[in-house]
Amino acid sequence: MAAQQLRPFSYVVLALVGERGAGAHDIASMMSRSPLYWDAAQSQWYAEPKRLADLGYLRAATRPGRTTARTHYTITAKGRKALRRWLAEPARFTRMQNEAAVRLLAGDMIDDSTIVASLAALRPELDRLEASLDESEQIARDIAGRTRYLLLSHRLAHRLIDAHRAWIDEVEQELDGRD
């Protein structure tokens, strides 16, 4: 029954709470700095920990905050067991909702210069993502027990950003006739 109540997003939240615990604000903040890993509305980062607490996967406790009390979540034995079981399953290749690839896929519907301009507009976003990732790496260095895992994950994110830059260069060369 428990496995049916959890979805991949649930495991992301359990992993973010981890052994140290976290508040929903902390979870939302972590993911806003690293949106390459999982995309969800900010409201979901607040709702899912509450749902998981209601299901017994997390424990909720009220702690003082800067201005108001905040809910801090810690993983329960049930949550730890579910997360460990999920973590042990074979990883699947990442499913991507890649808007840029779809724009190129439909390239026969518009002219090449429009496609190139559309994809080139990704460059500033890639720069922002990389800057955010660099900030996350600095924070990761202070998270005992998770530093090496976070830094390894960030290396993948850097490679994804680099791959997008190289792909945009390739599309520009091909469609603009550049050498």
Same domain membership, residue 105 and residue 84: no
Q: Which of 2-11, 24-33, 79-88, 139-148 is least confident?
A: 2-11
Is 47's pLDDT higher than 50?
A: yes
pLDDT of residue 75: 97
pLDDT of residue 94: 81
Query: In which domain, by residue range, is 159 found?
Result: 99-176
CATH number of residue 40's parent domain: 1.10.10.10
Q: Based on the structure, what is the number of domains in the chain?
A: 2
Identify whether the C-beta of residue 57 lies closer than 8 Å to the C-beta of residue 75. yes
| 112 to 39, 118, 121: CA distances (angstroms) | 29, 10, 14
Q: How far apart are CA 166 and CA 178, in angstroms?
A: 14
- Strands (E) located in 5-155: 22-23, 58-63, 70-75
Same domain membership, residue 80 and residue 14: yes
Is 2's pLDDT higher than 60?
A: no
Q: How far apart are CA 134 and CA 165, in angstroms?
A: 17
Boundary of a domain, candidates 63, 88, 113: 88
Same domain membership, residue 105 and residue 162: yes
pLDDT of residue 4: 52
Same domain membership, residue 107 and residue 51: no
Mean per-residue pLDDT over the chain, rounded? 89
